[in-house]
Structure 1
């Protein structure tokens, strides 16, 4: 029982709790849809097109002996220096009253051996298959007849490539024809000039 005067008791101090900082909830992690594979396929398709090129050469000779030659090609750059491709061959030959049509195809490979100025020294190899018409005398040697045969002609040699732009170029080739058939239409050396143009810039 208290003995002091009324109101002499000290109040009991009760500390107030400190306010706690509010914790913001972390936003949920959003995952992007997997769209890399179609994009990767598209990039690979673009790279393939960028390495394709086309071109070829055209030969014209008129007079008593007429020769019109078309040699279109489709090539692919395997590396910056190595390329390979396929091509078609068509020749129209007129010798006096006789006209002949030759046609066929070829495969080729080229490598840029060393750079020279704005171009490069080339090593070239190809195999051409040609169905050609030719003239011959009959057994009594009284008439000129015409027949057709197929020749396979391996050719190899060197050349020079003059770069026109990053992808376009002009080629001048000096080739040796390893087929010595008497009706072979090519005499050694075989000289070819052609242009290479890219499908894309």
Structure 2
């Protein structure tokens, strides 16, 4: 009877995870910055932080922020636009150089931003669901650059991407 109780308990031993990478190697940083100055000024800052969920680093989840500023001085009354928000995303690298991407982007924008320049434009939160894919080019070490093409599938009328085609973007990454 004692032998019969010992054998099942040996079969229930747990195996230790084979992933010995430290937390710091699972975290990656990236994003993009866009700057244009002159008659038309445009500033865009989109930082990201991701976490490699699985052992081989193919699946990542993450968070990011966004800030956009645009000013057009070609008119008697200059046109200004400011938006800010946050994003949650997931990426899956199906091969080393390519990935699928899905994100929820929530932006605070001025409603009716295409109305008269002098009218007061209240701010509203606009949801975006962006899906697509991208290409990654390693730069050496942990650095890389990426280019991606996304589509806004929600098409909210207040979205800056409303009735537009693909959204092309790119940036740099450390650890991705």
Q: Sort the TM-score into its range (normalised by shorter chain).
A: 0.7 to 0.9
Once the two structures are TM-superposed, the CA of residue 63 in structure 1 deviates from its matched residue by 4.2
**2:127/2:159 contact within 8 Å kept:** no
CA RMSD of aligned residues (A): 2.5
TM-score by length of 1: 0.66
Question: What is the aligned counterpart of 2:58 among 77, 81, 105?
Answer: 81
Gaps of 5+ in 2: 1-19
Once the two structures are TM-superposed, the CA of residue 136 in structure 1 deviates from its matched residue by 4.7
Report the count of equivalent residues.
149
Q: 2:89: which partner in 1?
A: 108
Cα shift readout 1:71-129 (whole Å, capped 9, x = no counterpart):
001111123211111000101121331323211100111111124xxxx1111111100
CA distance in 1: counterparts of 2:115 and 2:93, whole angstroms: 46
Gaps of 5+ in 1: 1-43
Q: Report matched runs for 1:1-201 at 5 Å.
A: 47-79=22-54, 80-96=57-73, 97-115=78-96, 120-134=97-111, 135-137=113-115, 144-186=119-161, 187-198=164-175
Q: Secondary structure of 1:188's partner?
A: coil
CA distance in 1: counterparts of 2:121 and 2:94, whole angstroms: 43
TM-score by length of 2: 0.74
Higher Cα Rg, which structure? 1
**1:136/1:144 contact within 8 Å kept:** no
CA distance in 1: counterparts of 2:82 and 2:118, whole angstroms: 20
CA distance in 1: counterparts of 2:131 and 2:147, whole angstroms: 13
CA distance in 2: counterparts of 1:53 and 1:122, whole angstroms: 15
**1:83/1:110 contact within 8 Å kept:** yes
